[in-house]
């Protein structure tokens, strides 16, 4: 019996029939067998394995992932696109990396569940240690400069604390005058609450907590009161669109817009244009949409299997052909039109119907 036959016999005893059938029908090279035995050794697909789960709050959990050797590392504040198989369908989402940059073998992401969130609920409540995940290399520009400013302001809310936590952990002991303004419904809802309060006690930062269940939300005007010298600080803000909109307007009005860096988890919507019917040509499904419903959301609500990724127009994991009609970019109102044979591609996560359209899904 050859070495190949011995390996195949072993695989038949330990892997699902479907996997073995694929192997038999596909030309194999030695790396294929190595990848099956140790998926993290693959040089073609970047993968990771869940190594530990740690609850942060009732609706948030930190997931520690051992990454493959092809992982190129990350800069504090960056995010990673992660794919998991849920009910037989591979779903992709983007999460900020919350671990410091000094560990080349593992990373952590911290997931806050959202109602109806397929991936967030799976990762926070169902995923097990040993689960394989698919990864892209780290990306994003929500990072500190090589020369760290003397005075820094972080403004975060909810899960917006996650990229900032990666910065605080990476630059522990190396930051100067730091103020963190963080909002959550209650004290118990503050992700990393114990950790950031401990940093405040040791003087690493000045912490201002806002509990929006009983206190007003942070606005530009309130920032004047909370951090009187905010205009003298380089600022990084991450959180809900309403918070970021307030801050961007406030900084622009004071003529210091270039001092504010923002990270949005959803694309800002420009409330113009019109909706209309969208036809998903491969499945034959047609749905009526309004001006703020993206093609991605419309398809998923109609039960169409849609490719997706970051859901904010960054990763291009949701790109599909626009066969006919017109769509509007919800971030800036830009109109894209297509006709049969044009080969026009659109991002479904940031595009809404304007009039009518057909997309090849």
Helix, strand, or coil (residue 273): coil
Please report whether residue 90 resides in a domain: yes
* Residue partners of 225: CB distance under 8 A and separation at least 6: none
Express each pLDDT in 54-110 by its tens digit.
999 999 999 999 999 999 999 999 999 898 988 877 888 889 999 999 998 999 999
Half-sphere exposure of 65 (CA within 13 A, CB side): 34
Higher pLDDT, 114 or 156: 156
Query: Rounded distance, CA 304 to CA 295, Å?
Result: 11
The domain total for the chain is 4
241: domain range? 151-263
Please report whether residue 142 resides in a domain: no
Please report whether residue 313 resides in a domain: yes
Express each pLDDT in 197-219 by its tens digit.
999 999 999 999 999 999 999 99
In the chain the first and final C-alpha atoms are separated, in Å, by: 47
Express each pLDDT in 285-333 by its tens digit.
999 999 889 999 999 999 998 988 888 888 888 999 999 888 998 888 8
116 in the same domain as 27:
no
| Sheet-wide strand order for 234-238 | 206-211, 177-184, 151-157, 234-238, 260-263
Q: pTM for the whole thing?
A: 0.74
Please report whether residue 268 resides in a domain: no
309 in the same domain as 259:
no
Please report whether residue 287 resides in a domain: yes
Q: Which two tokens stand for residue 186?
A: 């209650």
CA nearest 106: which of 172, 48, 56?
48
């Amino acid at each position: 019996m050859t070495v190949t036959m011995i390996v195949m016999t072993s695989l038949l005893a330990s892997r699902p029939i479907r996997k073995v059938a694929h192997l038999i029908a596909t030309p194999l090279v030695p790396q294929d067998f190595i990848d099956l035995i140790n998926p993290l050794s693959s040089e073609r697909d970047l993968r990771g394995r869940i190594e530990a789960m740690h609850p942060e709050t009732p609706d948030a959990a930190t997931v520690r992932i051992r990454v493959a050797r092809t992982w190129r590392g990350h800069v504090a504040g960056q995010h990673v696109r992660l794919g998991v198989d849920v009910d037989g369908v591979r779903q992709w989402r983007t999460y900020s990396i919350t671990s410091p940059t000094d560990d080349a073998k593992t990373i952590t992401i911290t997931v806050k569940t959202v109602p109806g969130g397929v991936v967030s609920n799976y990762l926070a409540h169902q995923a097990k240690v040993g689960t394989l995940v698919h990864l892209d290399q780290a990306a994003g520009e929500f990072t500190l400069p090589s020369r760290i400013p003397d005075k820094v302001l972080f403004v975060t809310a909810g899960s917006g604390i996650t990229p900032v936590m990666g910065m605080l952990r990476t630059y522990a002991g190396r930051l100067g005058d730091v103020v963190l303004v963080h909002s959550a419904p209650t004290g118990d809802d503050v992700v990393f609450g114990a950790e950031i309060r401990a940093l405040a006690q040791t003087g690493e930062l000045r912490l201002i907590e806002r509990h929006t269940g009983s206190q007003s939300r942070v606005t530009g005007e309130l920032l004047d009161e909370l951090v009187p010298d905010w205009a003298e600080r380089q600022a990084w803000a991450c959180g809900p669109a309403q918070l970021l909109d307030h801050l961007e307007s406030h900084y622009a009005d004071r003529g210091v817009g270039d001092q504010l860096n923002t990270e949005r988890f959803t694309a800002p919507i420009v409330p113009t244009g019109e909706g209309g019917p969208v036809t998903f040509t491969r499945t034959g499904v047609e749905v009526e949409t309004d001006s703020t419903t993206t093609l991605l959301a419309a398809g998923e609500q109609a039960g169409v299997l849609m490719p997706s990724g970051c859901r904010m127009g960054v990763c291009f994991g949701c790109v599909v052909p626009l066969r006919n009609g017109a769509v509007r970019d919800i971030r800036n109102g830009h109109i894209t039109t297509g006709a049969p044979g044009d080969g026009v591609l659109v991002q479904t996560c940031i595009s809404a119907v304007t009039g009518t359209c057909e997309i090849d899904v």
